């Protein structure tokens, strides 16, 4: 009588548990049965189970080879297949964000980043430090996102202000504060799957070096800062948000 491989059985169990956790995390968030942070951790647990299922599944396939006399090859194959699928789906979803540094506060102006005001007054943000982290954060951002810089627009600030707000709303940002005299507005955006909330501030100022004509300085400089409320990293989400805004504004 053939003996079932325990490794193969474990691989199958891990694969099934991983697939369930991978789905359960985001679903629990959408149904408001779990906070975004808890749901994301459940999702992460699914990835861990999937990785273990892949490892034990491959081991199980070897353990249940024809010459071994052990049963359970189907279970090993199930664990391997589920594990490989979980890992592939997660890597595809994360994309280039896997190489992003562990920072979650990104801005176009590292020397004079826009300042959050309204965001600091939200009850959910009580006690959070909105100060920019300084030179170490700047060094990491420059290395990871060298393309992010103040956005130069040829139009005057009055026109750019309206366009900037329209672009933000088209991108799904919720405007939460406007200070026209200072050329600043603040917004929040909720990520689609995990419902993480990020705070954003946009600043529009007149002119930029070299933007002059016979009447004097022209054009506008627009700066954006995007900061995640949860976690120490953002897998590139804030930089991607700023790029989307920049590209739409300068199109």
The answer on 206 and 142 residing in a single domain is: yes
The answer on 151 and 224 residing in a single domain is: yes
Strands 212-213 and 216-217: what pairing? antiparallel
Question: What is the pLDDT at residue 1?
Answer: 44
CATH number of the domain to which 223 belongs:
3.30.310.220
State the chain's mean pLDDT as an integer. 89
User: What domain range includes position 49?
Assistant: 3-99
For 7, the enclosing helix (H) or strand (E) is helix 6-30
Res. 217: pLDDT tops 70? no
The answer on 110 and 92 residing in a single domain is: no
Mean pLDDT of 68-86: 93
CB atoms within 10 A of CB 127: 6
Mean pLDDT of 101-121: 92
The answer on 242 and 119 residing in a single domain is: yes
The answer on 198 and 153 residing in a single domain is: yes
Instruction: From 223, 245, 250, select the one nearest 155 (Cα to Cα).
Output: 250
Name the DSSP class of 127.
Answer: T
Question: How far apart are alpha carbons 192 and 208 in whole angstroms?
Answer: 35
Helix axes 36-63, 73-94, angle to 10 degrees: 140
The answer on 202 and 144 residing in a single domain is: yes
Residues in the chain: 251
Q: Note the pLDDT tens digit of each residue in 133-154.
A: 778 888 999 999 999 999 999 8
The answer on 211 and 133 residing in a single domain is: yes
For tokens 């994360």, the residue is 94
Question: What is the pLDDT at residue 56?
Answer: 96
Let me know: does 125 contact 199? Beta carbons within 8 Å: yes
Domain boundary, last residue among 99, 121, 137:
99
Which of 39-43, 216-220, 223-227 has the weakest average pLDDT? 216-220
Q: Note the pLDDT tens digit of each residue in 2-23.
A: 577 899 999 999 999 999 999 9
The answer on 244 and 138 residing in a single domain is: yes
* 3-state SS class at 196: coil
Domain boundary, last residue among 76, 99, 122:
99
Query: Tokens standing for 111?
Result: 């020397």
Q: Note the pLDDT tens digit of each residue in 43-57.
A: 999 999 999 999 999
Q: Which residue has the higher pLDDT, 170 or 231?
A: 170
Helix axes 237-249, 157-170, angle to 10 degrees: 130
When divided into structural domains, the chain yields a total of: 2
Domain boundary, last residue among 50, 80, 99:
99
**Which residues, 6 or more positions from 15, have their beta carbon under 8 angstroms from its beta carbon?**
49, 50, 53, 57, 78, 79, 80, 81, 82, 83, 86
172-to-149, 204, 227, 244 alpha-carbon distances in Å: 22, 19, 16, 11
The answer on 113 and 95 residing in a single domain is: no
Let me know: does 199 contact 116? Beta carbons within 8 Å: yes
Show the CA angle centred on residue 244, arms to residues 241 and 250, nearest 5°: 140
The answer on 128 and 208 residing in a single domain is: yes
The answer on 91 and 61 residing in a single domain is: yes
Q: Note the pLDDT tens digit of each residue in 167-197.
A: 999 999 999 999 999 999 999 999 888 888 9
Question: What is the pLDDT at residue 97?
Answer: 63
The answer on 117 and 74 residing in a single domain is: no
Let me know: does 246 contact 175? Beta carbons within 8 Å: no
Let me know: does 108 contact 150? Beta carbons within 8 Å: yes
Question: What is the pLDDT at residue 224?
Answer: 98
Name the DSSP class of 102.
Answer: S
Question: What is the pLDDT at residue 143?
Answer: 92
């Amino acid at each position: 009588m053939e003996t079932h491989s325990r490794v193969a059985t474990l691989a199958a169990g891990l694969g099934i548990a991983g697939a369930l956790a991978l789905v359960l995390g985001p679903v629990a968030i959408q149904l408001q049965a779990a906070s975004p942070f808890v749901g994301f951790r459940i999702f992460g647990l699914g990835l861990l189970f999937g990785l273990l299922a892949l490892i034990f599944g491959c081991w199980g396939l070897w353990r249940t080879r024809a010459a071994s006399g052990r049963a359970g090859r189907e279970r090993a194959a199930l664990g391997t297949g589920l594990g490989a699928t979980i890992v592939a789906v997660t890597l595809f979803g994360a994309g280039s964000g896997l190489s992003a540094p562990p920072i979650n506060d990104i801005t176009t102006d590292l020397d004079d980043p826009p300042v959050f005001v309204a965001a600091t007054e939200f009850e959910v943000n009580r006690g959070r430090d909105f100060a920019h982290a300084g030179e170490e954060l700047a060094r990491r951002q420059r290395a990871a996102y060298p393309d992010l810089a103040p956005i130069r627009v040829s139009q005057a600030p009055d026109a750019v202000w309206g366009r900037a707000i329209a672009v933000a709303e088209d991108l799904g940002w919720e405007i939460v504060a406007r200070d026209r005299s200072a050329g600043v507005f603040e917004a929040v955006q909720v990520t689609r799957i995990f419902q993480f909330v990020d705070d954003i501030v946009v600043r529009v100022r007149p002119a930029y070096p070299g933007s002059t004509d016979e009447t004097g300085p022209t054009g506008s400089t627009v700066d954006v800062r995007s900061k995640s409320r949860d976690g120490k990293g953002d897998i590139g989400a804030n930089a991607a948000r700023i790029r989307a805004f920049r590209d739409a504004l300068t199109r």
